[in-house]
Structure 1
């Protein structure tokens, strides 16, 4: 009779080098992009000194790029929001580093405190807003890199009408009129 208990491995499987995958220099899977965002979030020395706050518009800074992805750092003062948008053909990971952000979708709203992460697929429409009384900072990983951010003109739950917005060139930083959330 064959069963799961009939299978046994003799010896140390880690001693068989050809069975181990070499570590990748750059992430390639959703789990690896989530891990990249988490490791950057945990290492404040990589981003904390870069954060700026702008009372007139969201501030952003491209923190890192790699083959097929980019990482953005954004700050949000109370009341700032992204507007309802999607990320074109890009998937992404949103990680709240400091403060609290509110994400609104057609399914409702979700409050995201520091440490919260959201993973989204291409075409996922949402609005991110700082509804709190304190500033917030977030990290955004886009794969492939963000090339457009279609803005939606309808209210959540209504008929969608989108207009594409081109994104800022590599190495850019400044007010975030075109960098998503």
Structure 2
């Protein structure tokens, strides 16, 4: 069965309302805890102190793209998404507790806690996320920086 990003949104909203573990934060970077795999959907809880975030990345690259969704449980998270074009730009959206967004299979984005309180979010991937590609972005364009495989600290 193929799940849509709308299906993933529903799963993250449900899990956000009944987290099985308390959030844990660390000063050295955001924390990620696997909540489990349900009906082929991999669920993660991410905990972010103010200022913590990801770099620009995709979910799976061209060969194994993975749709995703996340729901903010508490605090607020800002997402920057690359808007393609001759001169790519970054679109910015902020999501607060209770709000959900989706990440398409071709999206390149970054998520950051730009607020002044900790944030918690639940993320869903289907199929399981096996790799991410990280990017650099400047006035000359978008550049592939690295590839991270499952099992590394992402």
**TM-score over 0.5 for the pair:** yes
Q: 1:28 to 1:52 in 2, by over 3 A?
A: same
Deviation of 1:64 (Å): 1.5
Contact 2:75 2:97 survives alignment (8 Å) = yes
Structure 2 unaligned segments of length 5 or more: list them: 83-89
Alignment of 1:26-105 (within 5 A): 28-43=3-18, 46-47=19-20, 49-88=21-60, 89-105=65-81
Alignment of 1:11-26 (within 5 A): none
1:69 and 1:90 map into 2 onto residues whose CA distance is 11
More helix by share: 1
Deviation of 1:67 (Å): 4.5
Deviation of 1:122 (Å): 1.4
Segment drifting more, 155-164 vs 78-87: 155-164
Match of 1:5 in 2: none
Structure 1 unaligned segments of length 5 or more: list them: 1-25, 170-176
Q: 1:157 to 1:129 in 2, by over 3 A?
A: farther
1:41 and 1:154 map into 2 onto residues whose CA distance is 32
1:84 and 1:95 map into 2 onto residues whose CA distance is 19
Deviation of 1:29 (Å): 4.0
Larger Rg: 1
Specify which structure has the bigger relative contact order, considering alpha-carbon pairs within 8 angstroms and separated by 6 or more residues: 2
2:99 aligned residue (107, 110, 116):
116
